[in-house]
């Protein structure tokens, strides 16, 4: 994709995003240039943005008017050193003290809320520039796969049924919405017919929704360039299934409703952090920033001045790296996503099987389909799955045995084939569902 958008692509962005469209186009053209920067220039850009954000937070929010922020401002020329001097911002603080984080001098405000995957939904505010930057990052992520804003796409969504005006606008800009949440056979067949028409350049949706709907596709398309997955962990068996059934490469997004797009998979299969928009850290058990090691993900949104989120802990575990990618982009890389922090099973002795345990096991599964691990209490765990292939039950039982070994004989672990999974209000299927003991 060229660093300059065509008039057609700009028109499509305006048609889809209204008055934000031109700003998104401007920022997207910048991101298409900055992706060629070296790591030193990216760090300088981060430092410039961070300095401005810290001053805004210090002067215009109640929460950040303290000595920590003043120390961070003094160190802003070294963004990672600067940000490490601030305490981590947990979801509970954002939920309980939201008004203390709101700035007093931003006019154009966009409100949103998290999906509640890690607990009670969080109410958020975003400024126009922050929204524009996040959307521009998403379009650049699609460009990694050769997708332009004007390309026709099929988008599965699992929440918030759009108005007829919204649906019409999407059709006008060549984006077909298919509601996935609570989907019946009619909707799945409609999705399948859209895919089989071979007119779409990309398909996008939550992992579990895509896997569920793609089962209805009988004839693989020939012109599909990319399948974009987001919202949930993408395991190797799911990637392989989507690739084979849709005759297309699969690209993963990593993001959150609070921040927007954080990292996007390039043509070499590596997740590149949008360093121009966010500063991502991974912290070990002592709270120290680490590289090439698993830990808690904290993210600083460099663009949202309406509600500064500095070192916001989004609830995920990952590994980040400075290693170069063959594609030539020098952004921070996420080499492994390990799942949600609350994704663990435990026994009555407090022993836990964490997300890292399951991430490794899922690499060997090919037929199991959708999976959810339900811990009813400290002595009872169910492995729910929906795979219909002969090997699906064998894989589910194998996973149940490994959980049994990990938790000990005091915990009963069984497997069950079902279509009845717990789904969040935003349509996600969390890997682990833990009922109160």
Evaluated on CA atoms 117, 286, 253, 173, the torsion sign reads: positive
Residue 358: predicted pLDDT: 74
Q: What is the pLDDT of residues 36-69, one digit of tens each?
A: 999 999 999 999 999 999 999 998 999 987 778 8
With CA atoms as reference, report the closest residue to 351 among 405, 295, 407, 399. 407
Q: 349 is written with which tokens? A: 């002795």
Q: How far is CA 426 from CA 14, 225, 257, in A?
A: 26, 27, 10
Residue 236: predicted pLDDT: 83
Q: 334 is written with which tokens? A: 């996420």
Distance, in Å, from the CA atom of 294 to the CA atom of 343, rounded to the nearest integer, reads 14
Residue 437: predicted pLDDT: 45
Distance, in Å, from the CA atom of 59 to the CA atom of 62, rounded to the nearest integer, reads 8
Residue 161: predicted pLDDT: 61
What residues contact 96, with CB distance under 8 A and at least 6 apart? none
Burial (Cβ within 10 Å: 0-12, 13-18, ≥19) of residue 107:
exposed
User: Position of tokens 């927007």?
Assistant: 260
Residue 431: predicted pLDDT: 83
Which residue numbers in the chain have pLDDT < 50? 437
Beta strands in 74-143 (DSSP E): 109-113, 123-127
């Amino acid at each position: 994709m060229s660093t300059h958008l065509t008039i057609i692509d700009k028109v499509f962005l305006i048609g889809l995003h209204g008055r934000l469209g031109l700003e998104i186009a401007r920022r997207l053209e910048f991101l298409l240039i900055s992706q060629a920067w070296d790591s030193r220039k990216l760090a300088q850009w981060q430092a410039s943005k961070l300095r401005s954000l810290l001053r805004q937070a210090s002067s215009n929010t109640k929460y950040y008017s303290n000595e920590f922020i003043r120390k961070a401002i003094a160190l802003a020329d070294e963004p990672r050193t600067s940000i490490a001097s601030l305490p981590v911002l947990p979801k509970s603080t954002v939920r309980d003290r939201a008004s203390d984080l709101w700035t007093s001098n931003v006019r154009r405000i966009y409100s949103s809320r998290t999906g509640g995957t890690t607990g009670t939904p969080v109410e958020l505010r975003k400024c126009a520039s922050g929204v524009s930057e996040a959307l521009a990052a998403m379009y650049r992520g699609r460009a990694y796969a050769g997708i332009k804003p004007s390309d026709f796409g099929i988008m599965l969504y699992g929440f918030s049924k759009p108005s007829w005006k919204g649906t019409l606008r999407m059709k006008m800009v060549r984006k077909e919405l298919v509601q996935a949440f609570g989907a019946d056979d009619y909707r799945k067949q409609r999705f399948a017919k859209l895919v089989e028409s071979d007119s779409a350049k990309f398909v996008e949706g939550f992992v579990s929704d895509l896997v569920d709907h793609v089962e209805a596709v009988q004839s693989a398309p020939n012109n599909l360039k990319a399948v974009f997955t987001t919202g949930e962990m993408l395991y190797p068996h799911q990637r392989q299934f989507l690739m084979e059934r849709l005759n297309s490469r699969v690209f993963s997004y990593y993001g959150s409703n609070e921040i927007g797009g954080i990292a996007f998979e390039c043509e070499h299969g590596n997740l590149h952090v949008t360093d121009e928009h966010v500063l991502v850290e991974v912290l070990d058990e002592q709270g120290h920033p680490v590289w090439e090691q698993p830990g808690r993900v904290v993210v600083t949104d460099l663009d949202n001045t309406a509600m500064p989120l500095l070192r916001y802990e989004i609830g995920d575990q990952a590994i980040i790296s400075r290693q170069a990618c063959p594609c030539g982009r020098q952004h921070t890389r996420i080499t492994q996503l390990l799942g949600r922090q609350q994704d663990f099973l435990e026994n009555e002795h407090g022993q836990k099987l964490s997300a890292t345990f399951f991430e490794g096991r899922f690499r060997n599964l090919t037929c199991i389909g959708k999976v959810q691990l339900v811990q009813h209490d400290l002595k009872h765990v169910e492995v729910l799955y929906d795979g219909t292939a002969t090997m699906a039950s064998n894989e589910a039982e194998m996973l149940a045995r490994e959980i049994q070994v990990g938790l000990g004989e005091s915990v009963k672990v069984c497997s069950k084939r079902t279509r009845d999974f717990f789904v969040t209000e935003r349509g996600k299927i969390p890997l682990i569902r833990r009922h109160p003991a």
